[in-house]
Structure 1
Amino acid sequence: MIYTLHIANKRYSSWSMRPWVLLKALNIPFEEKLHLLQEDLSTQRAAYLSFSPTSKVPCLVDNDNQAIIHDSLAIVEYLAEDVPAVWPSDKLARAFARCAAAEMHSGFSAIRNECSMNVALRIELGTPSEALQRDIDRLAELFNEGISKFGGPWIAGKEFSAADAFYAPIASRCKTFGIQLAGPAGEYVDRLYEHPAVQAWVEDGIVEAGILARCEADCIQGRKVLKNLGEQQILDFMGL
């Protein structure tokens, strides 16, 4: 199979991150097509329509079969048709992993709205809203349940799966906003963040061009920026 994955900025695009991390983690060959977000949304939509019927990312193109798959969950299910390792082999673990991925796909609105992804920043969160705290508590509950039931180190057992890829942006958000999960859940977040595929995405995002004022503002929301890793990386390169 020859796949092309269309994505947006690695600094911001949590939806793009999920299938990209999965493809990398499972060593599935693909060509990356990066389309930087634009300040003007109407211009961006028009540009994205050239490769995506919804004008959104991610969008996977199966060049062999001339197929276009334009939703992150649909992408992983499409990949699973040819790569069984996308999901756990055990029936119960596979069901749990699918439930976890679907919950991330449709839920956790507070953490999406209040803690937008920005891999390069470290931000002082302050006191979470009630809605955000509920999301944080649910993440801890879900991660602890998966580790307890299936033994880890990943959310549904010994092997990295699509469910882990779906929570990779959550691991990034936890680092950006200093969100701490207790016990096995916190250990899982650290392990997920340090996965080589996740780190490859984060490292690219830190030095990526195309920083957008609207995306930075959406992430910061008037809070204190503690560190910009992009600036630090430039200083490290210069030996300062």
Structure 2
Amino acid sequence: MALILVIGNKNYSSWSLRPWLALKATDIAFDEVVIPLYTGAADKQRILDVSPAGKVPVLVDGDITVWDSLAIIEYAAERFPQAQLWPDDRARRAHARAVSAEMHSGFPALRNECGMNLHRPVGAKPLSAAAQADIARIQQIWSECRQRYGQLGPYLFGAFSAADAMYAPVVHRFLTYAIDMPGELRSYVEAMTALPAFRQWTEAGRAETLVIDKFEQD
């Protein structure tokens, strides 16, 4: 039985993007189910039917249900070790897990002020000091990873990993909101945007026609 990944709108759902990209970019087969967000009680119930948390993404593997983006990625890494979602080297793996967990739990100002919206015309907006601090910390993480592991490949830890999946929505945010980046980080962003799975999600998100007004206010 194939895995089933339940996700929200590709235009808006940054949390859905993370496990979707982790699976797709490493050739883990799954069936995709999209449940539109914020469209009414019926779709909300569809989400509750697969997860009592009432949120997406959700991974269903037979009688196993996993919710939360990072938990799904960890499950996939255990279930499909050949996908090499985490680096083989223990030190790199620990580093990758640490920055992924920091992404998972942090950067609230950037999330709130620069929501993921692939329909939004590219352009800067005024940001709070807290959001600017979030941006600076993310760029520090990326710079450190690229300096330490850049010789191993174009992604944060050389080869594509779960860490890249966790930061993929930030790549979109940096591009959408025209956030300035040092030159050494542009090559990382270019590598991510050239990734076929990243392009596939982006194109599908931009093709969506559903508009959620609460996410169109900036």
| TM-score bracket relative to the smaller structure | over 0.9
Match of 1:60 in 2: 59
Counterparts of residues 80-95 of structure 1 (less than 5 Å): 80-84=77-81, 85-95=84-94
Amino acid at match of 1:82: R
Identity of aligned residues (%): 43
Q: 2:174, 2:194 → 1: CA distance?
A: 13
Aligned length: 214
Q: String of CA shifts for 1:55-100, please: whole Å, max 9, x gaps.
A: 100000002xx10001111101111112220101111111111111
Contact 1:21-1:198 at 8 Å conserved across structures: yes
User: Which portions of structure 1, spanning 4 or more consecutive aligned residues, are displaced by more than 4 angstroms?
Assistant: none
Match of 2:69 in 1: 72
Q: 2:211, 2:127 → 1: CA distance?
A: 26
Counterparts of residues 80-119 of structure 1 (less than 5 Å): 80-84=77-81, 85-119=84-118
Amino acid at match of 1:74: A
Q: 1:164, 1:37 → 2: CA distance?
A: 25
Unaligned runs of 5+ in 1: 221-240
Q: Offset of 1:43 from its aligned partner?
A: 5.3
Contact 1:122-1:178 at 8 Å conserved across structures: no
Q: Offset of 1:39 from its aligned partner?
A: 4.1
Matched, 1:24 2:24: yes
Match of 1:174 in 2: 174
* Partner-residue secondary structure (3-state), 2:31: strand
Normalised by the size of structure 2, how large is the TM-score?
A: 0.93
Q: Which segment is superposed worse, 46-55 or 139-148?
A: 46-55
Contact 1:58-1:70 at 8 Å conserved across structures: yes
Q: Which segment is superposed worse, 124-133 or 114-123?
A: 124-133
Match of 2:155 in 1: 154
Root mean square deviation of aligned Cα: 1.5
Normalised by the size of structure 1, how large is the TM-score?
A: 0.85
Q: 1:202, 1:131 → 2: CA distance?
A: 28
Q: Offset of 1:52 from its aligned partner?
A: 1.4
Contact 1:168-1:193 at 8 Å conserved across structures: no
Q: String of CA shifts for 1:147-170, please: whole Å, max 9, x gaps.
A: 11112411112x100100111100
Match of 1:50 in 2: 49
Q: Offset of 1:44 from its aligned partner?
A: 4.5
Q: Offset of 1:127 from its aligned partner?
A: 3.5
Contact 1:143-1:184 at 8 Å conserved across structures: no
